[in-house]
Amino acid sequence: MKPAVNGADAEGDDRQVGSGLTAHAMSTFPLGRSRLKRSGYGAMQLGGPPYAAGGPADRASAIGVLQAAVAAGVNHIDTAQYYGPGLANDLIREALYPYPQELAIVSKVAVGRPDASAVIPSGEPRQLREGIQDNLRSLAVDQLAAVNLRLAGRDRVDARFDDQLAAMVAARDEGLIAGVGLSNVRLEQLRHAAQGTDIVCVQNLFHLADRRDTPVLQECLRRGIAFVPFCPLGWPRGAANPVLTSPVVIRTADRLGMTPAQAALQWLLQLASNVLLIPGTASIAHLRENLAAEDVTLDREALRDLDGVGA
């Protein structure tokens, strides 16, 4: 196999896996010490609706999706202790433990959910450490590849933010986490944090129809930080989804023989080499569809038309 060039594997041999998915050499980008496949998996939907609460409708199917993702070559799983709460992490452990050596599990703290009710802020330094430890226990690991400081309401650069960063850095220095990440972060917060410590990833809302954080993406690219868009297929779900129901996206996908989801995911992949995708699903069929987005091509007409969706 040739070495990776510009964050992408030059070539690789395909192989069939038991789920019916094809495992092959996907493009990659580093997240801290780990070089990750750019097509990953987000575990939020495994916690059950609404908003990851109440548990999956079919536990065996959820476990099957996780196992199929890893068998297909996914080595980046995004999760959180408050998905469920606790259920997503329990499913990951049940499905995948002992974990493959190359698997990077990334979680987030500063948000809690004591039960199936609404999430609550849990951003005090003590709570951040407790949240990291909760993830370590539920996943049965000694260290997580990264943990994101999930900011609520787009907080400011202030003494509280510095205290939160200090707690995350302390957890990294103690070996509880390998890397510090940020989520729901403003550009000025990212720059401030990166001046004081290494930031390995940023996870913000970003998709074809919502590009407000393009400056954050560009800053991450300049610094070599992985940018992980959450809700990469649009939000909210259902009939109001601005991406998957867009006439432009649907027309483009039909013309090129792909699905709207594949068009939207490939658009993100070609946008910048540091984009890591974590679309979530509780279906192996949808998992197959999402991973195949690596293999589709958007021509110039498609890129021009899709660029207009977010205008």
Q: Judge whether 64 and 70 are in contact, CB under 8 Å.
A: no
Question: Of 53-57, 139-143, 238-242, 248-252, which range is least confident?
Answer: 53-57
Kindly state whether residue 21 falls inside one of the protein's structural domains: no
Domain assignment present for 12: no
For residue 302, being part of any structural domain is answered with yes
In a domain, 199, yes or no: yes
Give pLDDT, residue 67: 98
Q: What is the CATH number of the domain that holds 224?
A: 3.20.20.100
Lowest mean pLDDT among 14-23, 102-111, 114-123: 14-23
162 in a structural domain: yes
In sign, the C-alpha dihedral spanning 264, 269, 272, 276 is: positive
Q: How far is CA 36 from CA 27, 132, 244, 298, in A?
A: 8, 22, 26, 23
Better-predicted residue by pLDDT, 168 or 8: 168
Question: Residue 129 falls within a domain, yes or no?
Answer: yes
Residue 25 lies in a domain: no
Domain total in the chain: 1
Q: Domain residues for 189?
A: 36-307
Q: Pick the residue with more confidence: 57 or 256?
A: 256
**Mean pLDDT confidence for 208-224:** 97
Number of other residues whose CB lies within 10 A of the CB of residue 301: 11
What is the pTM for the complete model shown? 0.91
pLDDT at 218: 98
What band does 23 get if pLDDT is binned at 50, 70 and 90? low
Residue 29 lies in a domain: no
When pLDDT is averaged across residues 2-15 and rounded to a whole number, the result is: 31
Catalytic residue numbers, as ranges: 83
Q: Rounded CA gap, 109 and 148, in Å? A: 6
Q: How confident is the model at residue 127 (pLDDT cuts 50, 70, 90)?
A: very high
